[in-house]
């Protein structure tokens, strides 16, 4: 499984897509730097996103039609590309969310089994 390097923690590539799409759905159009900072803020700085991780993912998501971009001015009045989620991106977000919930529930079952085996001495 391909991993994207994030400094403090590794984020699976599909998880980065989920985080970006969810951030754009919740907050509306944002430039890349703001997306990265918001993800770091929500994760209490557990996740760190650098340009080499985020921008290739944004480009891929735009090529897939999950996000759209337009040029605008940032808070500091600098030229920046703003990304927004598309209808296809909302469908992809729903799929990624369902996949994540199913996978985390499966992992949780394994963790529960491990705990039960340890308690039984097996």
Spell out the domain ranges in the chain: 3-120
Q: How far apart are CA 15 and CA 82, in angstroms?
A: 21
Dihedral angle computed from the Cα positions of residues 96, 21, 70 and 52, in that order, rounded to the nearest 10 degrees = -90
Q: What is the pLDDT of residue 119?
A: 61
Mean local confidence (pLDDT), 50-71? 94
Q: What is the pLDDT of residue 71?
A: 96
CB 65, CB 86: distance < 8 Å: yes
Q: pLDDT tens digits for 65-118?
A: 999 999 999 888 999 999 999 999 999 999 999 999 999 999 898 888 755 665
| pLDDT bucket at 12, cuts 50 / 70 / 90 | low
Q: What is the pLDDT of residue 115?
A: 56
Q: 3-120: which CATH topology?
A: Arc Repressor Mutant, subunit A (1.10.10)
User: pTM for the whole thing?
Assistant: 0.79
């Amino acid at each position: 499984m391909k991993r994207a390097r994030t400094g403090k923690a590794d984020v699976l590539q599909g998880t980065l897509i989920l985080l970006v799409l969810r951030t754009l759905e919740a907050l509306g159009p944002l430039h890349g730097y703001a997306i990265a900072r918001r993800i770091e803020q929500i994760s209490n700085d557990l996740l760190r996103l650098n340009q080499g991780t985020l921008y290739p993912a944004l480009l891929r998501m735009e090529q897939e039609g999950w996000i759209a971009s337009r040029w605008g001015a940032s808070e500091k009045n600098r030229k920046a590309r703003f990304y927004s989620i598309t209808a296809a991106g909302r469908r992809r977000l729903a799929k990624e969310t369902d996949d994540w919930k199913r996978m985390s529930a499966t992992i949780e079952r394994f963790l529960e089994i491990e705990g039960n085996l340890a308690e039984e001495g097996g």
